Chain A
Amino acid sequence: MENLSSVHIDSIVRERPKYVNHHMSRRKRDYIFIILMLLYPVAQFVLTWSFVNIQSILNAFRVTDIYNNTSWGFANFTQYFDDLFHSTKHDSGVTWINDTGLVLLNSLSIGIITVFISLPLSLIFSYFLHKKMAFANVFRAIFFLPNIIPVVALTFAFKTTFDGNYGYLYGFMRFLGFPAGFFANAPYCSFMVILYLIWAGLGYNIILISGAIGRIPKELFESAQLDNAGYFKEFIHVVIPCIWPTVVTLVVLGMTNVLTLYLQPLLLTSENTAAAYTISMSIFLDAAGDGSSFGRASAFGLMMSMIWAPVILLTRHYLSKKYEGVDF
């Protein structure tokens, strides 16, 4: 053993000079290594992030007329307000609100549904999964499936369920009074999008909430039981306060959906149902277009971010105050 270690040390001592560059200090070599390791990641980040954001702001203020003359101003912004309050465009098929208003309404309703339906459902589901429910892990794994399955396949599976020829829930929807073509006609397509978001949107929340519930000390549940607290009281007075930071995170994520969600309505309605447009869906379709609407899309996105981001931050600020100092 002694021989082995002496051989090893000997070899290190003999080999070391090969690697040492006496002309360069250790610190200098550290810096070269740091620069080489960070060169591409930082350059890629600076290029994409700064270019994209600066260009986006420029797009928003750049106005190009039909003769391709460029000028600068707020025309892209004012046009949106003009469309919102004065437009009589009803391509969506909804008569009581114009198309621009409908885009905002769709986006807002997605946020409301996520926060006030999907989140409470996820909380209740997670709570009962934690209560030594039979097959809890199997359920948790299945509930998470929509998060890993390609959204194209998932939306197709959902649509097929309501297909006029083969869907096993088609008859049920007709019985409820839905006319044929649920995904193509207003306002039913918006309802189907919302139904899909609830159906497919619980798994991610359940994983996060289950993790948070799992971190609550068992003693708290035991003391609640000693106090004869039932499911409801335990859920309201023990679970919710203890996992409040996670709830706040999920509220914030739900609220950002107002600005960011587009893929699901896009795929459910095959990109061509104006009644299902959301803020980011209309921006995506403008980006996928010929470039003539880049300015409008950028202005719309910038404006919505500036209006909605403070709302999210304020909500987060006030919600965080409710149960301060809790961190499970």
Chain B
Amino acid sequence: MEDLSRAYQGIHYIKKKRDIAYHVTKWVVFAIFFIYAASLLFPFIWMLISSFKKGEEFDLNIFGFPKEFYGMNFIEILKFTIDGQSIANMILMSVLLTVLGTIINLFFSSCAAYVLAKFKFKGRGIIYGVAIFTMIVPIVGTLPAQVQMMQKLHLDGDNAFMGILFLYSGAFGFNFILLYSSFSSVSNSYLEAASIDGCGRFKTFVRVVLPQCRGSLIACSVLQSIAYWNDYATPRLYLPRGHVTLAVGLQSLQTANSGNYPQIFASMMIAVFPILVLYLIFQKKIIESTNAGGLKG
């Protein structure tokens, strides 16, 4: 009996020791997470605070709060020009490309995804298979050929804006997969009911199917607009100097306005702000869609 109680005590002791180890590990990991999270947030919080300082004040007071909040940095940077183009104009270019690009991409992706998901026809499997295959297999070194294609189609130089929209209009990408699975899950009985009600095919697609897949469409449009707003490479390659987007302009601004850090910080905040707002509103959808896009190997 005594042996048994001693054994129990032993087990209790081991369990207690393990519990302590668990808690210590958890707190250490928590501290690491906190430091890592702070390292991600701090530069942006610091830039935000510093963007309200006057240039002279920033040099004297790098890490403190501004003595008075100077909002003019945001106005002045909008007027700042690089190659004859103001930052305000760059923002307009970014907004136009983001909005039009997202609408065009979403429209064509949903057209293709709907037809492939809901209609049976010869070649359907081939189109789907090729679309998936080309998405998965990366072929490197095609960028020069893409530049040549844009030159041959006269979609570079002065027509680069249209050219970029043409590149953005590719329907067979991540959105296609997400929308394909979303459209597939819509019951055919809705389509049949719409047909009985005298609804044409396109009207059924717009009035019946799209509203039912609103969640996926919102997720796709949010992710796509973030991608286009952030896109650096495509506008950098095709847009002529003096007609660039904010993402490209921000890179040039670092050398063009290197003396005035608070103004550069203000421009960075302007670039980050819309994305952060979208992220705060649609955080759950963005993360869910990222998860859905992570195809298994």
Q: Which residues of A contact B (CB under 8 A)?
A: 12, 15-16, 18-19, 29-31, 33-34, 37-38, 40-42, 44-45, 47-49, 51-53, 55-56, 59-60, 125, 128-129, 131, 133-134, 138-153, 156-158, 160-161, 166, 168, 199, 202, 204, 207-208, 211, 228, 230-231, 245-246, 248-249, 251-252, 256, 259-260, 263, 267, 270, 279-280, 283-284, 286-288, 291, 293-294, 297-302, 304-305, 309, 316, 319-320, 327
Chain B contact surface mostly: helix
Check if A208 sits within 8 Å of B26, measured CB to CB.
no
**A152 vs chain B, min Cβ distance (A):** 5
Question: Looking across the interface, which residue of chain A has its beta carbon closest to that of B291?
Answer: A211
**B96 vs chain A, min Cβ distance (A):** 17
Q: Which 4 A-B pairs have the closest CB atoms?
A: A301-B141, A41-B171, A249-B297, A157-B43
B37: chain A residues within 8 A (beta carbon): 138-139, 142-143
Check if A38 sits within 8 Å of B144, measured CB to CB.
no
Q: Which residues of B contact A (CB under 8 A)?
A: 18, 21-22, 25-26, 29-30, 33, 36-37, 39-41, 43-44, 47, 62-63, 108-109, 111-112, 114-115, 119, 121, 127, 131, 134, 137-149, 166-167, 169-172, 196-198, 200-202, 226, 229-230, 232-233, 236-237, 247-248, 250-251, 254-255, 261, 264, 268, 271-272, 275-276, 278-279, 283, 286-287, 290-291, 294-297
Contact of B112 among A37, A158, A248 (CB under 8 A): A37
Check if B140 sits within 8 Å of A133, measured CB to CB.
no
Question: Looking across the interface, which residue of chain A has its beta carbon closest to that of B248?
Answer: A152
**A70 vs chain B, min Cβ distance (A):** 14
Check if B115 sits within 8 Å of A148, measured CB to CB.
no
Check if B170 sits within 8 Å of A48, measured CB to CB.
yes
**Most chain B CB within a 10 A radius of its CB, from A41, A249, A259:** A41
B121: chain A residues within 8 A (beta carbon): 30-31, 34
Given known pairs A41-B171, A160-B47, the reply for A56 and B141 (CB within 8 Å) is: yes
Distance A37 CA – B287 CA, assembled complex (angstroms): 30
A37: chain B residues within 8 A (beta carbon): 111-112, 114-115
Question: Looking across the interface, which residue of chain B has its beta carbon closest to that of A315?
Answer: B297
Contact of B18 among A40, A202, A230 (CB under 8 A): A230
Distance A65 CA – B273 CA, assembled complex (angstroms): 50
Distance A256 CA – B44 CA, assembled complex (angstroms): 30
Check if B43 sits within 8 Å of A160, measured CB to CB.
yes
Check if B275 sits within 8 Å of A149, measured CB to CB.
yes
Check if A259 sits within 8 Å of B25, measured CB to CB.
no
Check if B141 sits within 8 Å of A300, measured CB to CB.
yes
A60: chain B residues within 8 A (beta carbon): 141
**B54 vs chain A, min Cβ distance (A):** 15
Contact of A208 among B146, B148, B237, B290 (CB under 8 A): B290
Distance A128 CA – B41 CA, assembled complex (angstroms): 21
Distance A33 CA – B111 CA, assembled complex (angstroms): 10
**B245 vs chain A, min Cβ distance (A):** 10
Check if A150 sits within 8 Å of B247, measured CB to CB.
yes
Contact of B26 among A48, A131, A287 (CB under 8 A): A131
B236: chain A residues within 8 A (beta carbon): 288
B166: chain A residues within 8 A (beta carbon): 44
A45: chain B residues within 8 A (beta carbon): 131, 170-172
Question: Looking across the interface, which residue of chain A has its beta carbon closest to that of B94?
Answer: A150
Check if B251 sits within 8 Å of A152, measured CB to CB.
yes
Other than the given A52-B145, A199-B39, A283-B144, 5 more pairs (CB < 8 A) read A38-B127, A41-B109, A53-B139, A139-B33, A160-B47
**Most chain A CB within a 10 A radius of its CB, from B44, B108, B297:** B297
Check if B29 sits within 8 Å of A133, measured CB to CB.
yes
Distance A138 CA – B37 CA, assembled complex (angstroms): 9
Contact of A53 among B26, B39, B145, B291 (CB under 8 A): B145
B201: chain A residues within 8 A (beta carbon): 29-30, 33
